[in-house]
Every structure is written in C-alpha cells, then in structure tokens.
Amino acid sequence: MPTTAPTAPPPPVRGLHHFAWRCRDSEETRHFYEDLLGLPLAHVIKSDHVPSTGEYCPYVHIFFQMRDGSYIAFFDLGDDIAALPSPNTPAWVNHIALRVDSVTDLLAAKARLEGAGIEVLGVTDHHIIESIYFFDPNGIRVELTTPTVPQAEMDAHALRAHADLDAWTARKAELRAARGASNA
C-alpha cells in the first residue's frame, strides 16, 4: 500500500464493462440469461490458455449484453463445477442487481421466471426501489429491481451518504464491543 496520497486524480470510471463469474455449463447459463432474462449472447471467447498468465486452462468466456452496453459474463472451465459460495457469507449478501424499467416489467419478469419453475422471492419494497430475487443455474443470486422514487430523492440520499456511512461505522464499533463483551 502506498503511504502517500497520489498527486494525480484517479481516472474517471465510465461505468461497468462486465462482471464475470464461473459457470458450470455455458449452454445452461445461456438459456437462463438469454431465453429467460432476455440478455442477448453478444460475445464468446474460446481459449486453452489464460491470457494474463499463460496458464493452460481450456475455457469459454461468454458475454450477455444489457441495454446500457455493459455485460454479464461467465467462464465455463469444462469441468461442470459451479463457483462455490463463501461459507462465511449469508446467501443473500453477494448478488448482482439488474435494473428494469418499471414495476410492470418487474412483475412480468417474476411471472416469466416462475413459469419456468424458478423460485422467486418478492416483490420486496426497499423504499427507493422494488426488487425480486432468484438464483441462476450456477447458484448466483440475481436481483431485478426498479426505482420507485424520483431522481431528486436519490440525489438527497447521495448528499447524506458519507454521514450515513459514518453512523454505520460508529454502530459497527459498538457491535464489535458488544460481541467482545459477550465472548469474555
């Protein structure tokens, strides 16, 4: 870790290009994301070697495009093994949230998924968004969500985001102290 602050500003991050996971079967994953969620398969990379390391590891890397131009991507290593969930993290924590345009679209997606035999949790009201939750064939938790408040309300949340994080940091210290006292 550097000990001094960088002198140049960080480069601007324009948005998400892709987020990648391991999948156990690329065709099963394609069916789920393309046929059920409507994300077109946009790119496939096949290789026997990892480009960054040169390591021998035959794989296919598949990309599904969202309407904003970003992608969800998966690696199939040909061994029928899905990524394992972390044993120290609740199943509801790690997930990807994908935005739909309206509550109507959210309800239509829920009906489509349930019609395909997929268990869907929600609609859950988070006071600024409404969401449904389900797992893809690889055990990855997916959230479909739509905003339910005007952008001005989201902007107000942004103005107090640092204060909210500071309050959580203080509460976390209290929780740690309480856990330490109960373990003594």
CATH code for position 95: 3.10.180.10
Buried b (16+ CB within 10 A) or exposed e, 143-161: bbbbbbeeeeeeeeeeeee
Residues 128 and 100 in one domain: yes
CA distance 174 to 15: 35
Q: What is the pTM of this model?
A: 0.85
In a domain, 6, yes or no: no
Cα–Cα separations (whole angstroms), residue 103 to 24, 42, 131, 145, 147: 32, 27, 9, 8, 8
Give residue 146's pLDDT.
96
Q: Domain of residue 62: give its range.
A: 16-84
Total domains, the chain: 3
Shared domain check, 80 and 20: yes
The predicted-structure confidence for 130-177, as pLDDT tens digits, reads as follows 999 999 999 999 999 999 999 999 999 999 999 999 999 999 999 999
Do 134 and 161 reside in the same domain of the chain?
Answer: no
- For residue 86, is pLDDT > 90? no
Please check whether residues 37 and 80 belong to one and the same domain: yes
